[in-house]
Structure 1
Amino acid sequence: MDTISLTQTRIRAGVWEGILTGGGPQPPKIEVLLLERALPGVTLAPVPGRPGDYALRVPIPADVLNEGVQTFLIRAADQTLAHFTIVTGVAMEDDLRAEIDLLRAELDMLKRAFRRHCLETMG
């Protein structure tokens, strides 16, 4: 896979949007996770006139927005490309809880990958 990067362009009308660059002729399989659950409706479309670039759209379902911090991880081939955080409810003094939430999500993914690796190498 080519080296790919993802740049957020905006969040509008409940849809996170970004541009994926370096995707090559075939778009990579993208998944967006919240609490280890993949979100539905994620789309990746070629950007006209820019080969290898794709427009990513992530609809944010209303039912996932709850009091507190929600951190969404955007991944391709077990690589985290980007993340975005939505804070709802009472305003926080700083963004520390969002960073802790991101660390927890990354740690959970590392634990799963390590367990999978152990199973594969033992069997």
Structure 2
Amino acid sequence: MTHTTLTPIRFENALWEGHVTSDCTPQIEVLYLGELLPDVELTPDADGWTLRIPVPSTALSEGVHCVIIRDESTDQKLGEFTIVAGAPVEDDLKAEVALLRAELDMLKRAFRRSQAPQG
């Protein structure tokens, strides 16, 4: 079985780059919205391969967009990157964090009650 790792390098000008190490030539596939992204480049370098993923313009719009990178031969997920854009997303994230904080406070109170001496 091959061991493949992915190390992110940079994301700029709608081009995501990473470094891949593997025991053999990796078979990389990149998915966005469940579809394979075209024009993904995997080129050999001194100690592995350089992976270049051109980000489609549809991913550069309001909302949260996730791109999944995986090894096609093993179906192993190697990594992902997320793009978050737009003003409404900020409000959605703040609301989600507020909800998580409220749930955490509720759990803390319930735990403290369960640990209080009975009597």
Normalised by the length of structure 1, the TM-score is 0.67
Distance 2:2 2:14 in 1: 30
Q: State the SS of the aligned residue for 2:58.
A: helix
Tell me the residue number matched to 1:45: 43
Tell me whether 1:56 sits opposite 2:51 in the alignment.
yes
Counterpart CA distance in 2 for 1:64 and 1:14 is 9
3-state SS, counterpart of residue 63 of structure 1: helix
Q: CA deviation at 1:67?
A: 1.2
Paired with 1:54 and 1:74, the residues of 2 have a C-alpha distance of: 14
Question: In the alignment, does 2:30 pair up with 1:35?
Answer: no
**Which residue number corresponds to residue 107 of structure 2?**
none
Find the counterpart in structure 2 of residue 9 from structure 1.
9
Question: May I ask how many residue pairs the two structures share in their alignment?
Answer: 92
Alpha-carbon offset, residue 88 of structure 1: 1.1
* 1:24 and 2:23 are equivalent in the alignment: yes
Question: Alignment partner for residue 81 of structure 1, among 74, 78, 81?
Answer: 78
SS in 1 for 2:90: coil
RMSD between superposed Cα atoms in Å? 2.1
Measure the CA separation in 2 of the matches of 1:66 and 1:14: 12
Consecutive unaligned residues in structure 1, runs of 5 or more: 98-123
The unaligned stretches of length 5 or more in structure 2 are 98-119
Deviation at 1:28, TM superposition (A): 1.5
What is the TM-score of this pair, normalised by structure 2? 0.69
On the 8 A contact 2:3/2:23 being kept in 1, the answer is: no
Deviation at 1:12, TM superposition (A): 1.8
Larger Rg: 2
